[in-house]
A and B are shown apart, each in its own frame.
Chain A
């Protein structure tokens, strides 16, 4: 495969039995993403942005279309048809997902959370502990927070932890679901630096952004969505500042 991800004619609707309604979330979405590319998706709430990300991640089961992903382990694989076990393995090793919400086990410390993500990939405990400290430092999460529960963190701290957890695995494909919503300027700036660094390391990213200013200078291409379809595409020329 030339591209890391090829989505073809993706359609997803929700069949709600209790109110006897079908809700079309996205329709005939086709998009190709090259290795190392950063694609931004914009659009109003309800236009279907998250549905695309969740369909790729396997949280949503799509009715039509294909999502071909060039896996390091499996080779080209249609994520829409992947087995549960394949999807679990891909999530552990290759595909990361960051949302604005930190969805974690209660009563798990920040340190444990990141360590587990590394252990999942089959690393030894020593390496996991080392890498955890490195990345938490790197993300400027105060040392006093390492051994406390993320439930008590501020929004910005949670988000940085969330991205740290995804980034420490060095995923080949990172899905970002409004990662900067509800962040202050300073935190946004930190996240931006980290995303730029990930890009340099070759991670392919697909992100949803409300904050256009944030997105500019970061993405290679911007897709704008309306009513479940792409309404326009903008090619961006970017140079990453070092």
Chain B
């Protein structure tokens, strides 16, 4: 049981900076910095020594204000961008022994296509708006090595049904859909390769309350049924409270606090977390 548990995803000392840095900001603690921005050379330290583990079947929440590095972190996890340095281990790849951040682009594509799914805040990033909805799903399935049209169609249709997209609209392009429907198509696409890890970046932001609720219920249901691990970024503490087992709090690129979600919400320690929790309406 727990003491023998191996994380599904393990991230160690992940750093991402935009800019080369200069002698003044290389020493991140004492440099001439405004938050995570160097006044001398303009370098932005978006993620600083981010370290965490995600275990099977759990939802790890990440909260933090805009600009705290949440999305940069998610992009790094999905190989949407190169990291500056750091380590990341995925249980499904080489038994979690190899730092996947040092692997070739081809291997990274493999991991992304077979072991991960991602849902972006902005559906334009996650979907091809001029493909049919089912075509979007087929695209991910083809990347994962699927070649059988019939089976892909069956899979696509059942996924879309699962996320409540009416069957008669599955050939339609997502650009005709409402925001909530687009998000649900994204979720169907992300799940199509049965990934053990699902990355959700602000998936309910900007949706109206009832649509938010349906997307959240969908995520919770899927997690329950499939026992997948989810990394969930949100600045909405209500979403975090509803879904996350454990939570990280990010500020200026750093993880300033982590704990069980009820610990974070009921006994916040860091000044920023206290401010955040006390801002809850």
Query: Which residues of A pack against B, CB within 8 Å?
Result: 14-18, 54, 58-61, 73-74, 83-89, 105-107, 116, 119
Contact = CB atoms under 8 A, between A and B. Distances in A.
Category for how many chain B residues contact A: 20 to 34
Contacts of A18: 271, 274-275, 278
B275 A59 contact: no
B263 A60 contact: yes
B269 A54 contact: no
B2 interface: yes
A88 B260 CA distance: 8
A59 B3 CA distance: 21
B220 A105 contact: yes
A86 to B, nearest CB: 5
A73 B1 contact: yes
A73 to B, nearest CB: 6
Contact of B267 (A14, A84, A116): A14
Give the interface SS of chain B, mostly helix, strand, loop or mixed. helix
Given A84-B260, A89-B2, A107 B55 contact: no
Nearest to A107: B217
Contacts of B267: 14, 54, 59-61
Contact of A58 (B258, B263, B271): B263
B259 interface: yes
A95 to B, nearest CB: 13
B124 interface: no
Interface of B: 1-3, 5, 55, 58, 213, 217, 220, 224, 242, 245-246, 258-260, 262-263, 266-267, 269, 271, 274-275, 278
16 contacts: A15-B269, A17-B275, A18-B275, A18-B278, A54-B267, A59-B260, A61-B259, A73-B2, A74-B2, A85-B55, A88-B2, A88-B58, A89-B2, A105-B220, A106-B213, A107-B217
A54 B266 contact: yes
Contacts, number: 56
Given A17-B274, A107-B213, A61 B246 contact: no
Given A84-B260, A106-B213, A60 B266 contact: yes
A180 B156 CA distance: 50
A59 B245 CA distance: 12
Nearest to B273: A17
A105 B223 CA distance: 14
Nearest to A105: B242
Given A87-B260, A107-B213, A119-B224, 17 more contacts: A17-B275, A18-B274, A54-B267, A58-B263, A59-B263, A59-B266, A60-B263, A60-B266, A73-B2, A84-B246, A84-B258, A85-B2, A85-B55, A88-B2, A88-B246, A105-B242, A106-B213
Contact of A84 (B1, B220, B224, B259): B259
Contacts of A54: 266-267
A154 B86 CA distance: 53
A89 B1 contact: yes
B262 A16 contact: no
Contacts of A15: 269
A116 B2 contact: no
Contacts of A16: 274
B95 to A, nearest CB: 20
A89 B3 CA distance: 10
B271 A61 contact: no
B103 to A, nearest CB: 27
Contacts of A105: 220, 242
Contacts of B260: 58-59, 84, 87-88
Nearest to B267: A60
